Amino acid sequence: MAPNNNSIRSRRPTRNLPQINERIRFPEIRVVDSDGTQLGVITPREAMDIAEQRELDLVLVSDKANPPVCRIMDYGKYKFEQEKRAREARKKQHNAEVKEVKMRYKIDDHDYQVRVSAAQRFLRSGDKVKATITFRGREIQHTDLARNLLDKLAKDLETVGEVQQYPKREGRNMMMLLSPKKST
41: CB partners within 8 A, 6+ apart: 28, 29, 30, 31, 67
pTM: 0.51
Same domain, 102 and 166: yes
Same domain, 107 and 149: yes
pLDDT by residue, tens only, the chain of 184 residues: 555 555 455 455 445 666 777 788 888 889 888 888 888 888 888 888 888 888 888 888 888 888 889 888 888 888 888 899 888 888 877 677 899 999 998 999 999 999 999 999 999 988 899 999 999 989 888 889 999 999 999 999 999 999 999 999 998 999 999 999 876 4
The answer to the question of residue 9 being in a domain is no
End of a domain among 44, 76, 91? 91
Strands 98-103 and 128-134: parallel
Same domain, 144 and 169: yes
Q: Residue 174 class from Cβ within 10 Å (0-12 exposed, 13-18 middle, 19+ buried)? A: buried
Q: What is the CATH number of the domain that holds 79?
A: 3.10.20.80
Give the range of the structural domain holding residue 114, as residue numbers without chain letter. 98-180
Same domain, 169 and 105: yes
The answer to the question of residue 15 being in a domain is no
Phi, psi of 39 (to 5 degrees): -95, -10
End of a domain among 68, 91, 114? 91
> What number of helices (H) and strands (E) belong to the chain?
4, 8
Q: How far apart, in Å, are the Cα atoms of 82 and each of 75, 88, 89, 132? A: 10, 10, 11, 44
The answer to the question of residue 31 being in a domain is yes
For the chain, the first-to-last Cα distance in angstroms comes to 68
Q: How far apart, in Å, are the Cα atoms of 165 and each of 35, 49, 68, 131? A: 53, 62, 49, 10
Q: What is the CATH number of the domain that holds 110?
A: 3.30.110.10
End of a domain among 65, 91, 117? 91
Count of structural domains within the chain:
2
